[in-house]
Amino acid sequence: MYLDSCCFSRPFTDMGIARNQRDASDFRIVMALLHTGRVRFAFSNYLYEELSDAKPATLRRKLLTLVPSPDVMAPQHSRLIDRVEKLTGCGFDYGDAAHLACAESVEADFLLTTDDDFIELARQHAILLKVKVWSMHSWLGEVLDV
């Protein structure tokens, strides 16, 4: 499983919004699954870069401490530039395309996100993708039946 940076950021967003509360709760469940080894975690330098760019520094430190030890590491996204460019040509922004390319490169079964636009665009281009893009909530509900 590969998670994009918005999954890690969700617990630090406005908890006055019900959706953010649900996603933060889902994130805790996903983290428990990763930490117990029930699910394998794929990580990338691109994800690390995004988390490392978070402002302020206190948030950046919190985000980086959430990252579990990866089971597999994706190649540097710059080595996947052809795939990133193909995906941006389909309408994905660079960040989402880089996450997709990284997830595909390690043959992740799922890429989890909280970004509804990313999920919808991935659904529209599902035939071209080598990884299934899910919301954490849908993945937990449909795949693990939690």
What was the pLDDT predicted at 142?
A: 85
pLDDT tens, 45-54? 999 999 999 9
What distance in Å separates the CA atoms of residue 83 and residue 75, rounded to the nearest whole number?
12
Question: For residue 15, is pLDDT > 80?
Answer: yes
What was the pLDDT predicted at 89?
A: 98
For helices 45-52 and 94-105, what crossing angle results, to 10°? 140
What was the pLDDT predicted at 32?
A: 95
CB contact at 8 A, 102 and 47: yes
The full set of domain ranges for the chain reads: 2-143
Partners of 3 in the β-ladder = 112
DSSP element (H, E) containing 72: strand 72-73
Residue 87, token pair as written in the block: 């995906």
Mean pLDDT of the chain: 95
State the fold for domain 2-143.
Rossmann fold (3.40.50)
